[in-house]
Amino acid sequence: MQTQNLKNHSRFVPMYHYVTFGLLLAILVGSIVNLCHSSCDNFYSASLIVALTFTSILVTYFARSFALKAQDRAIRAEENFRHFIATGNVLPTELKMSQIIALRFASNEEWLALISKTINEKLTSKQIKENIKTWRGDYNRL
């Protein structure tokens, strides 16, 4: 696996991001066209196909968002534990979840200083990642 850095750390799964969403979009367009061209005899089945398509889109979206939310909670717990080991205290409450997620990439040597800088300068997650000198990869996030 390639070593992570600022430019390549985000996960992109082509079969999920391109194929699944492309197919769902095509099915949605096709089902709406089918509904618009349906006669009274098959209007009910055509509307069910549209409803099933919307349901599939929602299930796909929420399955992904729920998994990411669970990973965010795990990252918060890991970083909280990391901070507790380093300082004997929990993470400062001023940190937002997006900042904590970005801070996880910082090496132990620069991590505490970067936390202070993040709080004092109200850095965004992008700015935090740009300030990291020694990248600590996260190869488990999906």
Q: Domain range holding 89?
A: 14-131
| 62 belongs to a structural domain | yes
Cα separation, 126 vs 122, in Å, equals: 11
Alpha-carbon radius of gyration of the chain: 22
| 76 belongs to a structural domain | yes
| 69 belongs to a structural domain | yes
pLDDT band for position 112 (50/70/90)?
very high
Cα separation, 34 vs 40, in Å, equals: 12
Could you read off the pLDDT of 16-31 as tens digits, one per residue? Answer: 888 999 999 999 999 9
| 136 belongs to a structural domain | no
Helices (H), the chain: 14, 21-36, 43-87, 97-103, 108-121, 125-131
| 31 belongs to a structural domain | yes
Give the number of other CB atoms < 10 A from CB of residue 88.
7
pLDDT at 121: 96
Cβ atoms of residues 9 and 138 within 8 Å: yes
pLDDT at 142: 61
Cβ atoms of residues 87 and 112 within 8 Å: yes
| 24 belongs to a structural domain | yes
**pLDDT of 4 strictly over 80:** no
| 142 belongs to a structural domain | no
What's the structural domain count of the chain? 1
**pLDDT of 37 strictly over 80:** yes
Could you read off the pLDDT of 54-73 as tens digits, one per residue? Answer: 999 999 999 999 999 999 99
| 140 belongs to a structural domain | no
Cβ atoms of residues 117 and 131 within 8 Å: yes
Report the pLDDT averaged over residues 108-120. 95
Contacts of 11 (CB under 8 A, 6+ apart): 141, 142
Neighbouring C-alpha atoms within 13 Å toward the C-beta of 87 = 15
